[in-house]
Each structure stands twice: as C-alpha cells, then as structure tokens.
Chains A and B, each alone.
Chain A
Amino acid sequence: MLAERRFRRRRVDPFAVLWASPALLWQGAFFLAPLGLLVWLSFWSLRNFRLIPDFTTANWDRILTRDFFWAAFQHTLVISAVTALVASLIAFPVAYFLAFRARAATRRLAIFMLITPFFTSYLVRIYAWTIILANEGALNLLGRALGFETANLLSTPTATVIGYLTLCLPLVVLIQLFALSNVDRDLVGAAHNLGCGPLRTVLTVVLPAARTGLVIAAAFAFILAFGDYVSPVFLGGSRPPTLSILIVDQTRSGNHWPRAAVVAVVMILTLIAVLFGALAAAYGRRKGAA
C-alpha cells in the first residue's frame, strides 16, 4: 500500500511539466535566484563604499538592534493593516451594489471605470494628491470657503493612507466584485424566504460565501501598501519612515546594500507570514462546518 502510494507520488506527467516549465523557469530565474542573492547579500560587508562578498552577521545585528528599525517595522505593519481594512470597508458597499443591484450595463461601465485609473502612472496620481492636500491646496481652500478650520494634511500618515488607497482601492473593489458575483443567488433567495433581514443575509450568507475573495482582496491591499515607497515619501513626507524608505536610506547613506538587504529580507518574511495567514483565513474550514 505504502509502496503504491510512493509510486503514485513519483509519477510525473511530462506533458504537465512541459506546460508548467516556462512559469517554473521564470519563477526560478526572477524570484528564487534573486531572493537567494538578496539573502546572501545581507551577509556581505562594506569597506570604503565597496561591497565585499563575506559572511558576517554584523548587518543583521546592527539593523535588528536599532530602535528606528522596529519603529519603522511597527509603523509599516499598522499603516498597511489600516489600509487593508479601510479599503475593504469602502469597497464592499460598492462591490455589493454592483454585484447584486446594478444592471449588467452599469456593472460593465463600472468595471471599465475601475480599470481606467491604471492608465495613469501611480507617481503622477500621487503628485496630483499633493496639490489637493497641500496647506494651500484645493481641499483646504474649499474647507476655508465653507467656513471650516483647515488642517495640515500633507506629511501625515493620513495622507500616506490616501495614497495607498489610490493604489489599491480600485483593485480591491474589482476582486470583491468578482467574489460577490460568484455567490449563489439561491442561497440569498433562500435566506430571504426564511425571513432573514438584509443585514443578516449579508453577514451570515453573503460574507461567508464570498470569504475567499474578500480576504484575498484585503491581502492584496496589505501587500501593495507594505512595499510602497512613493506614497509615504511624497504624501507622508517620510515621517515616520516606512521599511521601504529605510531601504533607500541605507543605500543612499553610505551605499549600505547589505543592511538594505536585511530590511528587504525581513519585509519578505513578514509578507510570507501575512500571506499564509490570509490563505488560512480564506480557505480554512469554517467553525461548525462539516
């Protein structure tokens, strides 16, 4: 029995391998190999601005014992989580309306509109936000005209989150929309027939049925925000710095690629952990499910 199972496990379909090989080669050449190089680089040393292949843990010791690293780590983690949460909450009513209430033509138009922001460079969109959020920007001018007290929005974490949302909100809406579109309408109808109110139907039928897509959408928002450099620099004023800013700082001040590699490896490990958590939440067995 055991031998048979082993035999089965070793059987490889050459046709499947042939089709999968370009993707595997691509991943190997452009993800695994650079990742290996990055890890190796984190153990190199630096002398007079020159990188020396080495095996020293000094870079890890230096970075992991600095308060500014852990402050940046905590800030990046929190602000990315907030972005994922806010994006999900804003996106859900829109996606719900488009999936369940809107006509097919409206839905198609909305999908088109959600894709169009990607026609413009993200950097340009962020620069546009600086004009809106600046002290003398459009938002404050409007606020002043309406008699509100103005606030300094640029160079704040709020501005950074606005930038992150610019990047990920259309994507989150689209993923949620596709997830909600796949929810079995009979289940929703059955809930209504059994006397379930609209809110309860959403909470107990729609959300569990679309769980995978909703979690994946939030995970995308988190991943995009976690690694973004543009928004925290141009809207957040690098204050406080995120991990991506820390990477640039390490290379710009002293050419310290090995320390930048340490920060990058920590970021990748964090993202892998978050992704595993998200997948577990998306595909894990529900409490009480058979």
Chain B
Amino acid sequence: MTDFRAYAALRNGVRRRTVLKGLGAAATAPLLSAAPGARAQDNTLNLLCWPGHNDPAVVGPFEEQYGVQVVAREYVGGDNMMALVTQSPPGTYDVILADAEYVVQLRDAGFIDPLDPADYPFDDFFPEFHKFPGHWLDDTLYSVMIRFGFLGVSYRTDVFTREEVDTYQALWDPKVTGRVGYFDWYLPSMGCLSLAGGNATPYDIDAAGFQRLKDTMDSVKPQTGGFFSMANTFASLTSGDAAIIPGVGDWITLLLSADGVPVDSWVPQEGGVQWTESMSIATGSPRPELARSFIQYMTSPEGQSRSARMPAYNASIPSRAGWVRLNEDDPQAAALLRHTFTDRNVMDEFADGKIHIRQTPLQQDVEDWTDVWADFKT
C-alpha cells in the first residue's frame, strides 16, 4: 500500500530547511543504510559470505532443486561482514555466513533469528560440534556450522621441514628474514603470535599477556616480508616471496599443494587457532523457509561433501555423514583433507587439545588490538 504521507510536504509547501534536511539525508543514507546490489527477488537467495560459497560446484544441486539462484555478496574478514550487515536494510540478505566469534555480535545487534535445532541434522555431526559454544547463545541456537579449519603456520616445504615448523620459533629463523608473510587480518595473525609468545589462551589475556603479545610482535617484526590480501597470500606462497605465514592453514595450502606448489600447513606445539564458518537466517529475510532449506542442504551429506571441496578454498566439515559421502565422492580429496577414518585425521588433531577457538579479544577492546596491528605493519 502506498504511503501518501510523503506527499504531504509537497501539498504544504517545501521549506528551505526541509530541502536541506532532505539533501543531507540523501547524502548520508548510503553510509547509514547502504543497500548493496543484492535485493529481494523471487528467484534468488541472497547470501552474505566469504568468497566462493555460491560456486555452482557447491550450490548447483540446491539451485536446480529449488529453481533459484544463490546470489552472493562477498566479504573478507568478520569486521568487514559486520560493516556490510549494518549498512544494509533488513531483507537484503536471507542467509549470513559468519565466523563463530561474530555470531554473538550479529545476535546482539538483532541481525539474525533463533533457529530450531530439530530442523538441522546435528545427529550426523561429530559430538564435538553438537553444541558449539559460539553458535548457542543463552541456550538458543543461532547458527549452524558448515566448515572449519585449523590455523597455525603455512610454509614452503623447500625451505622448512615439518620438524622445524613444530614451533613458532621458525618465524625467527635467519633463513627467512624478510620472508615471513602475514594474511592482513589482525585476528588470526595476532592469535597465533599470542600463542608464539607463550599466552596459553591467545585471546583471553590480561595486561601482562597483552604486553607479552606486543613484545613478541616487536621481536618478530624485522623478519616481516609483507602483509597480503587473500589473493596475494596464495600468490606470495606460490612465488616463494613468503616462506612462512602464521595465522593461516590448510585453507591456503590444500589447493596450492594439489597444484604442485611445495607448501604445507602445520599446527606448532604451542597451539593453533580454529576458524569456523556457520550459517544463520538473517532477520527480515523475505524467504526464511528457503533460507532454512539452504542451510539444510549445506549440512546434508551432499552439501558437506561439496563444501569441503569448494574451489575457492577447501576446508574441514563437521558432519560425520559428510565425511562418509566425501570418501565415496572423492577419496583423493578426503585423504588430502585428512578426512579418512583409517589414518590419523583432523578430528584426532582436534582431540590433541592444542586448538583454541578464534575469538574477538576478551579483555581488551578490538580497537586496542587493531592499533597494535597497525603499529606492527608500520
């Protein structure tokens, strides 16, 4: 129904102040509630995600079954995701893919809806992921895990051996002076450097622990080769300009090693960080049922098997049934992902107890960490 109140101003005459207010609102509207390209259409499902999640290799069967197209608005980094959500009016997105540490912020800001656990195949998941802390808030489910991975160090195997990178001390090795690279996102990079500095809980650190982190960063700074975007992280390892990168993992090296680049990833003895990607239904989604069906598809054995092999970057999957399907679909990929049931696999690594869930800083402001990161880059 048309809202005729807007025309009242015309009938009553438009004053200069009204015009100025209107111009000001028009100018600032994009900043306060910028609507990106993705808008509600009957035959689309709008997905906010890291790059690659709407690849036909992953979502093709869903699109075919429901006669819809999955349209993605891509981001790099959780803060970037939060910025896009806050700038978009309700209804812009149907499904939001977020890292676990941002689910609570999405919930607190009212951007995602509670989910009914009965709608999703948690019985298929490994027990460790039945009630993942960051996805259950106040005993209510807000997000369902799709993928995860471990972050430690990624390195050139023609420069380091597995034994050498079993400690973060490899970052200080004189043979890689000027060749220690960083994925330019403070959270995973500083998390691993926090572990390297001796903080047992990388994100839950007091003032002394924070000082230890800063000292570690000052100490390793002369080794730095560069700070890379997502694409350049791949390129720098491939070209050899970066010999080792802390704060990344299999998501970088699986695809490169499959292409013959001499790289690998490892979680050093000091510990590593777990990243997760999970899906939530956006508040105000015009198609919540379709959004639910999409998350059901992504957590199904087929969706999980395809998501693990996503062309943009591979990842581990939390569904045991997905592992079974992956071993049937592509045994080679299952072996590469260490998702086999006969050899030591990623769940064994998870059970070792040296993996810490990635979180936003618990005892400091995010700004304090980003300022330290900015100083580190200078």
Does B378 contact A134, Cβ atoms closer than 8 Å? no
CA distance A71 to B27 in the complex (A): 33
- Contact partners of A212 in chain B: CB under 8 A: none
Point out which of B108, B186, B225 has the most chain A C-beta atoms below 10 A from its C-beta: B225
Interchain CB contact (< 8 A) of A238 among B83, B105, B227, B241: B227
Q: How far is the CB of B12 from chain A (nearest CB, A)?
A: 26
Q: Does chain B have a CB within 8 A of A209?
A: no
A239 in complex: contacting residue of B226, B229, B367, CB < 8 Å: B226
Interface check B228, CB cutoff 8 A: yes
Near A by CB (< 8 A), chain B positions 198-240 give 224-229, 232, 235-236, 239-240
Asked whether B109 lies within 8 Å of A67 as measured between CB atoms, the reply is: no
Give chain B residues whose Cβ lies under 8 Å from the Cβ of A154: 226, 236, 239, 241
| B205 to A: closest C-beta gap in Å | 19
Q: Does B31 contact A (CB under 8 A)?
A: yes
Give the complex CA separation of A238 and B85 in angstroms: 27
Which of B76, B85, B178, B367 is most buried by chain A, counting CB atoms within 10 A of its CB?
B367
Would you list which residues of chain A between 159 and 218 have a CB under 8 Å from chain B?
Answer: none
B77 on interface, CB distance cutoff 8 Å: yes
CA distance A267 to B157 in the complex (A): 43
Residue of B186, B227, B378 touching A253 (CB-CB under 8 A) = B186
A231 interface residue per 8 A CB criterion:
no
Given A68-B374, A253-B186, A255-B82, verify A136-B228 contact (CB < 8 Å). Answer: no
Q: Which of B28, B76, B83 has the most CB of A within 10 A?
A: B83
A96 close to chain B: CB less than 8 A? no
- Name the residue among A236, A237, A251 with the largest chain B CB count within 10 angstroms: A237
| B269 at the A interface (CB under 8 A) | no
Interface status of B377 (Cβ within 8 A of chain A): yes
B2 part of interface (Cβ distance < 8 Å)? no
A8 to chain B, nearest CB (A): 32
Q: Which of A47-65 contact B (CB under 8 A)?
A: 48-51, 53
**Total interface residues on B, using CB and 8 Å?**
41
- B 179-194 contacts with A by CB, 8 A: 179, 181, 184, 186
Judging by beta carbons under 8 Å apart, are B235 and A130 in contact?
yes
Does the CB pair B241–A253 fall under 8 Å? no
Q: Mark B234-258, 1 if CB is under 8 A from A, else 0.
A: 0110011100000000000000000
Q: Which of B76, B186, B228, B378 contacts A68 (CB 8 A)?
A: B378
Q: Are B241 and A252 in contact, with the CB atoms below 8 A?
A: no
Chain A residue at minimum C-beta to C-beta distance from B239? A134
* Contact between B178 and A152, CB atoms less than 8 A apart: yes
A234 proximal to B (CB < 8 A): yes
Instruction: Say whether A239 contacts B227, CB under 8 Å.
Output: yes
Q: Does B86 contact A (CB under 8 A)?
A: yes
Within 8 A of B (CB), among A95-148: 130, 134-137
B239–A135 CB distance below 8 A: yes
Which residue of A37, A67, A135, A152 is within 8 Å of B378 (Cβ)?
A: A67
Residues of A within 8 A of B (CB-CB), count: 38
- Are A41 and B31 in contact, CB atoms less than 8 angstroms apart? yes
User: Is B373 at the interface (CB under 8 A from chain A)?
Assistant: yes
Interface string of A234-256 (1 = CB under 8 A from B): 10111111000010010111110
Residues 52-78 of chain B: 1 if any A CB is under 8 Å from the residue's CB, otherwise 0?
A: 000000000000000000000000110
Q: Are B27 and A238 touching (Cβ within 8 A)?
A: no
Q: With A66-B371, A67-B378 in contact, is A137–B239 under 8 Å at CB? A: yes
Chain A CB within 8 A of B32 CB:
yes
Is B80 an interface residue when CB atoms closer than 8 A count as contact?
yes
Answer yes or no: B123 CB below 8 A from chain A CBs.
Answer: no
Asked whether B378 lies within 8 Å of A71 as measured between CB atoms, the reply is yes
Asked if B336 is an interface residue, CB under 8 A from chain A, the answer is no
User: Would you call A226 an interface residue if the criterion is a C-beta within 8 Å of the partner chain's C-beta atoms?
Assistant: no
Asked if B366 CB lies within 8 Å of chain A CBs, one says yes
A233 is an interface residue with CB less than 8 A from chain B: yes
Nearest CB in chain A: distance from B222 CB, A: 12
- How near does chain B come to A33, taking the closest CB pair, in angstroms? 7
Contact of B370 (CB < 8 Å), options: A67, A237, A239, A253: A253
Q: Is B329 an interface residue (CB 8 A)?
A: no
Across the interface, name the chain B residue whose C-beta is closest to A239.
Answer: B226
Once bound together, how far apart are the Cα atoms of A251 and B27, in whole Å? 19
Interface residue? B375 (CB, 8 A) = yes
Cα–Cα distance between A249 and B375 once the two chains are bound (Å): 12
Q: Is the CB of A136 within 8 A of B225?
A: no
Report whether B28 and A238 are in contact in the complex, using a CB–CB cutoff of 8 Å: no
Contacts of A236 in B (CB 8 A): 226
Q: Contact at B28–A37, with CB atoms within 8 Å?
A: yes
- List, sorted by A's number, 20 A–B pairs whose CB atoms are closer than 8 Å: A49-B79, A49-B82, A49-B83, A49-B109, A68-B375, A130-B239, A134-B240, A134-B241, A135-B239, A137-B239, A152-B225, A154-B239, A155-B225, A233-B229, A239-B226, A246-B374, A253-B79, A254-B79, A254-B370, A255-B79
**Interface positions of A (Cβ within 8 A of B):** 33-34, 37, 41, 48-51, 53, 66-68, 71-72, 130, 134-137, 152, 154-155, 233-234, 236-241, 246, 249, 251-255, 257
Instruction: Supply 12 further A-B pairs (C-beta < 8 A) apart from A237-B227, A254-B79.
Output: A37-B28, A41-B31, A48-B108, A49-B86, A135-B239, A135-B240, A152-B241, A154-B236, A155-B226, A241-B378, A252-B79, A252-B80
Identify the 8 closest CB pairs spanning chains A and B, nearest first: A237-B226, A155-B226, A255-B83, A238-B227, A134-B239, A68-B374, A253-B370, A71-B378
